[in-house]
Amino acid sequence: MSYDLVVIGSGPGGYVAAIRASQLGMKVGVVEKAELGGVCLNWGCIPTKSLLKSAQVFEYLNHAKDYGINIDGKASADFSAMVKRSREVAGGMSNGIQFLFKKNKIEVLQGTGKLTKDKKVEVTNSDGKKDTIEAKHVLLATGARSRQLPNLPQDGEKIIGYRKALTLEKQPESMVVVGSGAIGSEFAYFYNSIGTKVTLVEYLDNVVPLEDEEVSKQLGRSFKKAGIKVMTSSEVTNVDASGKKVKVTVKTKKGEESIEADIVLSAVGIAPNIEDIGLEDAGVEVEKGRVKVDEYYRTTAEGVYAIGDIVPGQALAHTASAEGIICVEKIAGKDVEPLNYGNIPACTYTTPEVASVGMTEKAAKEAGYELKVGKFPFSASGKASAAGHKEGFVKLIFDAKYGELLGAHMIGANVTEMIAELVSARKLETTGHEIIKTVHPHPTMSEAVMEAAAAAYDEVIHI
């Protein structure tokens, strides 16, 4: 078999790249050892959002009286049904990828892909049978897995990673979540909302530590208000899983603290899947644990490309998709603009949600900018009050000299749906005054964007 392009991995980077390549006239084959859609669709982005939606509905029911609705009896969380629904949602999306592949005449090569010395692809199926595939171009999109820490070894039962957290057989009464990035914070919110006693441990000073400090502190307050025990500036130094419960030793600024829990979830980041895919044989260089690529995702081996979690940059599904499209369009000879990694949005789907793009206030100051900063609280938003979600704010950071939007940071209901406006604004080099003069519909949560811009220029109306 011979192809114009063989993609190893069918996650959001690989399958999007494959479809775009097919649209551009290439004969495409995709090597996948598990379900189409990769980790994101099957064990990450999609099923977690399903669980989070279940938690949100449960919280609505518990607060129905706040909206003038009386419900007889007490709502209860059916954990197994929530998990079942999330698996069905993921399965449906995976079937959707199959349909798209068929529609675009993309062939699926079931098995594990590996580069050979002559830059062919060796595919080993589940029975151990090997086939060699020829291709003009090979795109590596093998993704990542949960990172293991030496002092936090995952056993898949009491000490688990994010994948197992999606399919536990029963709801734990107590859980320690180690790491408060998007994955850790989302699981902490989900399990806490359905009644699990959750402790969230973060090594740095604030939860979601990559976000703007004001946003991080607000989410920490919201978590504590919701009943999550938040331990920042803290480190897990020892875990004892020999007993019925797991004993976790946490080093804090005030000394050591011992916590007992049914489950410990390790959410301390990811490790790229670069082992056993033939990088050395094909002459593909690795630097600092990631595949070395240029701005169009060409590796050091001619005809071999890499995208997604295995290359430098944000380990995000939409980043991988954008990289894949740029890569195959460049292969097809199109005039392509390199990806601006400073304009990649980040989202955390807790309650309240967190969304951001661009520089934090601290980073902008350190870069030497003179700033105009505007903030608008949702407590002053009519739509937020009507919806019963007054927590949070929109914060915009502008260059005082030219009015350039340097960064946007949001925390509140539905902000993950609002952030794209600011991504577009940065892409189009929109100024603060142009945002102020862009008429936003009333009443909406998005009005807070206009008001935050106005606040930066002392023109805000509603606060």
Write out pLDDT tens, residues 372-391: 999 999 999 999 999 999 99
Q: Which residues are within 8 A (CB) of 351 and not within 5 positions of it... i.e. 6 or more apart?
A: 52, 55, 56, 59, 189, 193, 222, 226, 413
The pLDDT-based confidence of 73 (bands split at 50, 70, 90) is confident
Q: Which residues are within 8 A (CB) of 458 and not within 5 positions of it... i.e. 6 or more apart?
A: none
- Residue 433 is a catalytic residue: no
Task: Say yes or no to pLDDT of 40 above 90.
Answer: no
Q: What is the dihedral of CA 265, 268, 274, 280, to 10 degrees?
A: -130
**3-state DSSP assignment of residue 131:** strand
pLDDT at residue 300, as a whole number: 97
- Considering the candidates 389, 433, 442, 462, report the single residue annotated as catalytic: 442
pLDDT at residue 151, as a whole number: 85
What are phi and psi for residue 102, nearest 5 degrees? -65, -45
Q: Identify the residue whose tokens are 């070395």.
A: 292
Write out pLDDT tens, residues 266-317: 999 899 999 999 999 999 999 999 999 999 999 999 999 999 999 999 999 9
Write out pLDDT tens, residues 11-38: 999 999 999 999 999 999 999 999 999 8
357 contacts 346 by C-beta, under 8 angstroms: yes
Stretch 179-184: mean pLDDT, rounded? Answer: 96
Q: Which domains does the chain have, with CATH numbers?
A: 2-146+271-341 (3.50.50.60), 159-268 (3.50.50.60), 352-456 (3.30.390.30)
Stretch 249-278: mean pLDDT, rounded? Answer: 95
pLDDT at residue 186, as a whole number: 97
Stretch 316-323: mean pLDDT, rounded? Answer: 97
**What element of type H or E holds 448?**
helix 447-456
pLDDT at residue 74, as a whole number: 83
pLDDT at residue 223, as a whole number: 98
Peptide bond into 352 cis (omega under 30): yes
Stretch 60-82: mean pLDDT, rounded? Answer: 91
Task: Say yes or no to pLDDT of 1 above 80.
Answer: no
Task: Say yes or no to pLDDT of 146 above 80.
Answer: yes
pLDDT at residue 43, as a whole number: 87
Q: Strands 263-266 and 174-178: what pairing?
A: parallel
Residue at 319: amino acid letter: T
- The radius of gyration of the chain from alpha carbons, rounded to an integer in Å, stands at 24
Task: Say yes or no to pLDDT of 127 above 90.
Answer: no
Q: What's the rounded Cα separation, in Å, for the pair 124 and 237?
A: 40
Stretch 103-117: mean pLDDT, rounded? Answer: 95
pLDDT at residue 150, as a whole number: 86
Burial 394-410 (b: 16+ CB within 10 A, else e): bbbbbbeeebbbbbbbb
pLDDT at residue 408, as a whole number: 98
pLDDT at residue 119, as a whole number: 82
Stretch 432-460: mean pLDDT, rounded? Answer: 97
Burial 33-50 (b: 16+ CB within 10 A, else e): bebbbbbbbbbbbbbbbb
Task: Say yes or no to pLDDT of 260 above 80.
Answer: yes
Bridge partner list, 257: 250
Output the average pLDDT for the chain. 96
pLDDT at residue 115, as a whole number: 96
